[in-house]
Amino acid sequence: MKPLEGRIALVAGATRGAGRGIAMMLGEAGATVYCTGRSVRGRPATGTRPETIEETAERVDARGGRGIAVRTDHTVEGEVAELCARVKREQGRLDVLINDIWGGDELTEFSLPFWKLAPAKGRLMLERGIYSHILTSRYAVPLMLEHGRGLIVEITDGDTFGYRGNLFYDLVKMSVIRLAFDMAWDLRRHAITALAVTPGFLRSEAMLENFGVTEANWQEGAAKDPHFIASETPFYVGRAVAALAADPNVAAKSGRVFSSWALAKEYGFKDEDGRQPDWGTYFQQAFGRSYAVADEAAYAAWLNGPMEIAAPDWPKE
């Protein structure tokens, strides 16, 4: 029997990249996976990207799970409410929620300081990257509460306190780590775990295209950027999430942030090509610790202080 056989998962933001990889690996572990996003066949929602949620659902099927595509704009309350109502009607419960909604690639102005950023773009990024996660959790978690168990995973970028190159981008990615902590606190009386997970240098569809390579010859991309050699496929973080979902002791991790490379070492999984990329170690060796973590002492105090007070040992009142 597969470890997630009979489990019901919702991957919010499953169109491409990490979301697609996570959906497929949950399917590989046997789960039924609702694959949501805005891009459907004939109606792309993110520039010229060709990926669709139907394609993701089909790939979940091909991996041995059951994929169900549902077009959803996760910034629209009515659509999120209907999505969760549909999951309840069709399945009766929800076991795993992955918040990977993003939609900010075309909005991020990495080359500009904050006083030169376009406010409208920043506001939209906050809506898509933070508010959508809160809204989705608001309607999905009651399904878990009815069943008495569940796992919420916030997908972020980085597990350090370092600056991520753009004020709004950094605010979004740090905020979803905090969301995991906040939700874990509110759920401390329930058997529902909330945590955050980051991939490393993600070899997504867009990144492969940017480097002018395919997955078959991806290593040639290192000629353009030597750091690309330490990249990982979306399946790597997907296997990290699947391992967490199958772990009966995952509650001990509630409220904290984890990386694909650290979880690979803990759970023993590998990437599709048999490698076990370690972006954290590579980054520190390539750039130095002071570059990777802007204020390590401050981050450690935050991370190892309140976030170490993990469920189920948190105070009940």
Distance CA(124)–CA(180), nearest Å, equals 21
Does residue 313 surpass a pLDDT of 60? no
Please count the other Cβ atoms lying within 10 Å of the Cβ belonging to residue 209: 11
Q: Over the stretch 63-101, which tens digit does the pLDDT of each residue have? A: 999 999 999 999 999 999 999 999 999 999 999 999 999
Q: In sequence order, which residues have a C-beta less than 8 Å from that of residue 4 and are 6 or more positions away?
A: 26, 29, 30, 31, 65, 96, 242, 245, 246
CB 302 within 8 A of CB 159: no
What pLDDT score was predicted for residue 4?
98
Question: Is 46 or 239 the better-scoring residue by pLDDT?
Answer: 239
Question: Which whole number is the average pLDDT over 118-123?
Answer: 94
Q: Which long-range contacts (CB under 8 A, 24 or more apart) does 105-113 make?
A: 105/46, 105/47, 105/206, 106/46, 106/47, 107/168, 108/166, 108/168, 108/169, 109/166, 110/165, 110/166, 110/169, 112/166
3-state secondary structure of 83: helix
Domain ranges of the chain: 8-308
Q: Is 131 a catalytic residue?
A: no
% the chain with pLDDT above 70: 91
Tokens of 155: 């997908």
DSSP H helices, the chain, are: 17-28, 53-62, 77-91, 119-126, 132-147, 167-186, 205-211, 234-246, 260-267, 279-287, 289-292, 296-304
CA 13 to chain centre: 9
Question: Is 195 or 294 the better-scoring residue by pLDDT?
Answer: 195
Q: What is the mean pLDDT of the chain?
A: 89
Does residue 225 surpass a pLDDT of 60? yes
3-state secondary structure of 77: helix
What pLDDT score was predicted for residue 305?
43
Please state the φ and ψ torsions of residue 268, each to the nearest 5 degrees. 85, 20
Question: Which whole number is the average pLDDT over 235-244?
Answer: 98
CATH class of 8-308: alpha beta
What pLDDT score was predicted for residue 289?
56
For CA atoms 286, 290, 294, 296, the dihedral sign is positive
Confidence at 161, pLDDT banded by 50, 70, 90: confident
Distance CA(203)–CA(171), nearest Å, equals 23
Catalytic residue among 169, 236, 291, 299: 169
CB 129 within 8 A of CB 174: no
Confidence at 110, pLDDT banded by 50, 70, 90: confident
Confidence at 288, pLDDT banded by 50, 70, 90: confident
